[in-house]
Amino acid sequence: MEGSEVVAQLPISEEFLSRQGNPIRSHMTTGLAREYSNRQSESDRSWSIQDLRVGMKRVNLKAEVLEVSEPRRLVTRYGNNACLAKALVSDGTGEIKICLWNETVDAVSEGDTVQVGNARVTAFKGEKQLSLGKTGTLDVIEKPSSKVADGLVVAEP
């Protein structure tokens, strides 16, 4: 820095910062450094559904899709046509609905295991739900390997 103006920035490894003889180690006790460190570790954290609270951001979790509602066509408040469905997911600690918009509607099906990234916890009509927004991700990480048909287990190709 030159006075109060930043003239250069560079990444510094955690290993360097934690070294005993590090000349900038004392600066790690500042509120700004602690806040940044907490934000970084929180964004990598995987949550359990039972721990989710309305208003949380940058939520990551792994869950199984229990059911997917029939898609509905609607017009958004911006006048765009959209397709909306809700998927009920569970991780063993609880259940929560995820809003699926447009192309994500067909991306998941019942029995899939999904990884949700960078989602927000919102409330709609008093019920908690996950919203992906523009930056959230929903990836199918495992499809069911077999289906039950008339009481028989049939392996999928």
Q: How many helices (H) and strands (E) does the chain have?
A: 2, 9
Q: What residue ranges of the chain are covered by domains with CATH 2.40.50.140?
A: 49-143
Place of tokens 């450094």: 33
Q: Per-residue pLDDT for 125 more than 90?
A: yes
Q: Per-residue pLDDT for 111 more than 60?
A: yes
* Least confident segment among 34-43, 80-89, 105-114: 34-43
Q: Per-residue pLDDT for 65 more than 80?
A: yes
Q: Residues 49-143: name the CATH superfamily.
A: Nucleic acid-binding proteins (2.40.50.140)
For the chain, the distance separating the N- and C-terminal CA atoms, rounded to the nearest angstrom, is 61
User: Where would I find the H helices in the chain?
Assistant: 14-18, 31-44
pLDDT of residue 5: 77
Q: Could you give the 3-state DSSP secondary structure of residue 39? A: helix
Q: What is the DSSP letter of 73?
A: E
Q: Per-residue pLDDT for 147 more than 50?
A: no
Name residues whose C-beta falls within 8 Å of residue 65's C-beta, 6 or more positions apart in sequence: 87, 88, 89, 108, 109, 110, 111, 112, 113, 114
Q: What pTM was estimated for this model as a whole?
A: 0.65
The phi, psi pair for 99, rounded to 5°, reads -75, 125
